[in-house]
């Protein structure tokens, strides 16, 4: 018999043939024209290069902003717009969107200048969008910025320990890296009049820049529009924004992860009044985060996106004589700008004024300046322009007529009948409505699926006799558990904080939080209780709380007294400021217990936490701790101050305060 049958030979030939074909085809390279696209730069390179964008659009001034609440961004936009009046071209830029390593290349552009509008956040920290830039400045010691012309305007608040720390750091660090400061650092104080500080700096800044670059102001003070109006008469309503912060329809189809651009709609499960009596309304809300994959720690903040009162929105529509339900887009006249619209578009005027624009804060002077042209009474025009100037008379008029009287845009339109601006220009000028932050009043160890908020409803009478209401607190107050059969929801996300319990549970903690400053400590106490239940050894937990009257606003009284009874709180000290003739505050109780406090701090490694009003309480409490260190530690006042500052540096003296 033959060794191989015909079938074997056929199969063998077939296998050899396939192997040869595979080998030959593998070696064969055919040109594919589509691959040529890889030679062009990837889109991300173009997007992160502000140098290429400036060259392409003929810009020579770039204004970077570090902004948490929108003010620094607003100032940056104003400065970039100003450039046009001085024969230059500017652009505002978010440092998070660009490669800041390109600063060294700015000298490639003639007469170029980088302006930095930098806000300071928290305890001297950079804002979220400037964090990467801050890290880059810290890490790049060998960077050569000798060709960079720069100036810095800093936004801060004198109430806080680290006043304007971020702006001061950027100014100093750029100089260290060889950059040339063209104009002095500007310091804006939000505890005083930030707008006035900015105007005074800006009015000196531009003449200095013109002199430096040898250019002359065009003398053109006319209004410069940044956006053009487009009305949509026939549009698919599924493509219209109805209040979403980022992605269209994100409120209908929720997708994690949730953040500032994509908030989670958390159902309200509890909304109760905390105080038993009195004029004020202190409230406790609970938000359900089940299924959201949101995680938080005690001491974190919850950010909520409020909406404006519909009554105010309707009044604005009436006074301007417009149909608020017209669907519009405001499109950037600069095609190359990253910011295509001032708020999500297309949308209706009603949605913009309800969800996206701040209509309750007194408008800044630039808004008055731009709107002045629409006043038919020459006297009104003159006053509005005067208020936007840096003249002493103008500053006094703005302070008295706008700020002291708490006039919002509606009040200004009502009190100045000759002023009739087009609604689209008004929408372009008004700042964005910002998220509001609250210290979380719960522990995720005890409440993993809910976040608790403690807040006081803001409502006051102005000099003009109007009742002004806080946007967020009144909106939260009206969040009923069920609204016509539907669950009330709050768009929210979590912002991480450094306000943390000690890593070692055996460390004692001293908590000082009058009024709603108690919020994070409710979470701390819950967590210390949970640790005890787990059998962990827990150090002393001391609470100093203050309120006006025991029978009115001793909030969380039951919870605090229960925690003391169970030994979770080893000491509860409450100051009722108005229950006796002499006012008693938390600092008085601190002084009374100075020996015990000094032992906890100096011997037992205690961590101190302060939460609440920054302007008075936090300063008074810090001074009290300095006095205790001075008296019981045998120190001079300077040594005692340094001692407390060292505790801050070590993370043993933490503050979560607001002004």
Per-residue pLDDT, averaged over 604-633, amounts to 96
Beta bridge mates, 456: 282
Q: Is the pLDDT of residue 3 over 60?
A: no
Question: pLDDT at position 28, please?
Answer: 43
Reported as a single tens digit per residue, the pLDDT across 640-655 is 999 999 999 999 999 9
Residue 193 pLDDT greater than 90, yes or no: no
- Which of 159-163, 329-333, 454-458 is the least confident region? 159-163
pLDDT in tens, 557-580: 999 999 999 999 999 999 999 999
Q: If one looks up domain 509-657 in CATH, what number appears?
A: 3.40.50.80
For residues 542 and 525, give the distance between their C-alpha atoms in angstroms, rounded to a whole number. 10
According to CATH, where is 3.40.50.360 located in the chain?
50-213
The pLDDT value recorded for residue 219 is 63
Q: Could you identify the residue written with the tokens 């006074």?
A: 319
Contact indicator for 254, 265 with CB cutoff of 8 Å: yes
Pairing of strands 125-126, 149-156: unpaired
- Residue 471 is predicted with a pLDDT of 98
Q: Is 144 a catalytic residue?
A: no
Residue stretches of the annotated binding site for NADP(+): 280, 516, 577-578, 583-587, 620
pLDDT above 90 for 359: yes
Percent of the chain with pLDDT over 70: 92
Task: Of 450, 513, 521, 129, give the one whose Cα is nearest residue 296.
Answer: 450
For range 497-511, the mean pLDDT? 96
Beta-carbon count within 10 A of 88 CB: 22
User: For the residues 481-493, what does the mean pLDDT come to?
Assistant: 89
Mind listing the pLDDT tens digit for each residue in 263-292? 999 999 999 999 999 999 999 999 999 999
For the domain made up of 256-306+435-497, the CATH class stated in words is mainly beta
CATH 1.20.990.10 location in the chain: 307-429
- pLDDT reported for residue 218: 73
Give the global pTM: 0.89
For residue 658, indicate whether it is catalytic: yes
Which of these is catalytic: 358, 424, 553, 656?
Answer: 656
pLDDT digits (tens, 9 = 90+) for 59-96: 999 999 999 989 999 999 999 999 988 889 999 999 99
In whole numbers, what is the pLDDT of the chain averaged over residues?
A: 92
Of the listed 154, 292, 348, 439, which one is catalytic?
439
- Which residues are part of a known binding site for FAD? 436-439, 454-456, 460, 470-473, 658
CATH 2.40.30.10 in the chain is located at 256-306+435-497
pLDDT at residue 172, as a whole number: 97
Spatial separation of the C-alpha atoms in residues 238 and 123, rounded to whole Å? 43
611 given a catalytic annotation = yes
Residues 6 or more apart in contact with residue 377 via CB below 8 angstroms: 416, 418
- DSSP conformation class of 35: G
Highest averaged pLDDT of the listed ranges 34-38, 123-127, 217-221, 476-480: 476-480
Q: Where in the chain is the domain with CATH 3.40.50.80?
A: 509-657
pLDDT at 33: 42
Binding residues for FMN: 67-72, 119-122, 155-164, 190
Instruction: Return d(Cα 631, Cα 594) in angstroms, integer.
Output: 9
Pairing of strands 149-156, 186-189: parallel
Domain 307-429 has CATH 3.50.50.60: no
Q: What's domain 50-213's superfamily in CATH? A: Flavodoxin domain (3.40.50.360)
Question: What is the reported pLDDT for 220?
Answer: 59
pLDDT at residue 561 in the model: 97
Residue of 117, 345, 611, 626 marked catalytic = 611
Model confidence pLDDT, tens digit, residues 519-534: 999 999 999 999 999 9
For the question of residue 439 being annotated catalytic, the response is yes
pLDDT in tens, 145-186: 999 999 999 999 998 888 999 999 999 999 999 999 999 999
List, for residues 209-246, the tens digit of each pLDDT value. 999 998 887 765 667 889 999 999 999 999 999 999 99
């Amino acid at each position: 018999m033959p060794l191989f049958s015909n079938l074997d030979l056929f199969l063998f030939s077939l296998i050899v043939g396939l192997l040869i074909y595979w080998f030959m085809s593998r070696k064969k390279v055919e040109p594919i024209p589509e691959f040529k696209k890889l030679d062009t730069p990837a889109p991300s390179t173009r997007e992160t290069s502000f140098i290429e964008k400036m060259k392409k659009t003929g810009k020579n001034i770039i204004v970077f902003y570090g902004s948490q609440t929108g003010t620094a961004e607003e100032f940056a936009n104003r400065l970039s717009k100003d450039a046009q009046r001085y024969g230059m071209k500017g652009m505002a830029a978010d440092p998070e969107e660009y490669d800041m390593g390109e600063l060294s290349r700015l000298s490639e552009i003639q007469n170029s200048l980088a302006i930095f509008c930098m806000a300071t956040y928290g305890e001297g920290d950079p804002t979220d969008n400037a964090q990467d830039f801050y890290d880059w400045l810290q890490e790049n010691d060998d960077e050569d910025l000798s060709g960079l012309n720069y100036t810095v305007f800093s936004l801060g608040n004198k109430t806080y320990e680290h006043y304007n720390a971020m702006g001061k750091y950027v100014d100093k660090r750029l100089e260290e890296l060889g950059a040339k400061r063209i104009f002095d650092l500007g310091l804006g104080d939000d505890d005083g009049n930030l707008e006035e500080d900015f105007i005074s700096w800006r009015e000196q800044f531009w003449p200095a820049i013109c002199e430096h670059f040898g250019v002359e102001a065009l003398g053109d003070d006319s209004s410069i529009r940044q956006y053009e109006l487009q009305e949509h008469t026939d549009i698919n309503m599924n493509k219209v924004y109805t209040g979403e912060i980022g992605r269209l329809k994100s409120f209908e189809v929720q997708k994690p992860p949730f953040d500032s651009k994509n908030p989670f709609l958390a159902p309200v499960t509890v909304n109760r009044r905390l105080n038993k009596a009195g004029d004020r309304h202190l409230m406790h809300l609970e938000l359900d985060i089940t299924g959201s994959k949101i995680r938080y720690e005690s001491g974190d903040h919850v950010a909520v996106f409020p909406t404006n009162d519909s009554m105010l929105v309707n009044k604005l529509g009436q006074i301007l004589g417009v149909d608020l339900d017209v669907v519009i887009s405001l499109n950037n006249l600069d095609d190359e700008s990253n910011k295509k619209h001032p708020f999500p578009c297309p949308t209706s005027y009603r949605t913009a004024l309800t969800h996206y624009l701040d209509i309750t804060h007194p408008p800044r002077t630039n808004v008055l300046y731009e709107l002045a042209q629409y006043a038919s009474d020459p006297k009104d025009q003159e006053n509005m322009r005067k208020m936007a100037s840096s003249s002493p008379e103008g500053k006094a008029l703005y302070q008295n007529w706008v700020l002291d009287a708490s006039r919002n845009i509606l009040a200004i339109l009502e009190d100045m009948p000759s002023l009739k601006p087009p609604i689209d220009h008004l929408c372009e000028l008004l700042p964005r409505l910002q998220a509001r932050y609250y210290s979380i009043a719960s522990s995720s160890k005890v409440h993993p699926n809910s976040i608790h908020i403690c807040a006081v409803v803001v409502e006051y009478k102005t000099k003009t006799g109007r009742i002004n209401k806080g946007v967020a607190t009144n909106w939260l107050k009206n969040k009923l558990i069920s609204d016509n059969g539907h669950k009330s929801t709050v768009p929210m996300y979590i912002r991480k904080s450094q306000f943390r319990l000690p890593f070692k549970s055996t460390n004692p903690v001293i908590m000082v939080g009058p009024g709603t400053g108690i919020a994070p400590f409710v979470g701390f106490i819950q967590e210390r209780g949970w640790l005890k239940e787990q059998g962990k050894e827990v150090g002393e937990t001391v609470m100093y709380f203050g309120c006006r009257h025991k029978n009115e606003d001793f909030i969380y009284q039951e919870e605090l007294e229960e925690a003391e009874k169970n030994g979770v709180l080893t000491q509860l000290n409450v100051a009722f400021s108005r229950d006796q003739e002499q006012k008693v505050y938390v600092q008085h109780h601190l002084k009374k217990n100075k020996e015990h406090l000094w032992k906890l701090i100096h011997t037992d490694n205690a961590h101190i936490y302060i939460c609440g009003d920054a302007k008075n309480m936090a300063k008074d409490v810090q001074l009290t701790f300095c006095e205790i260190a001075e008296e019981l530690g045998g120190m001079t006042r300077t040594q005692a101050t340094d001692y407390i500052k060292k505790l801050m540096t070590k993370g043993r003296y933490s503050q979560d305060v607001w002004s």
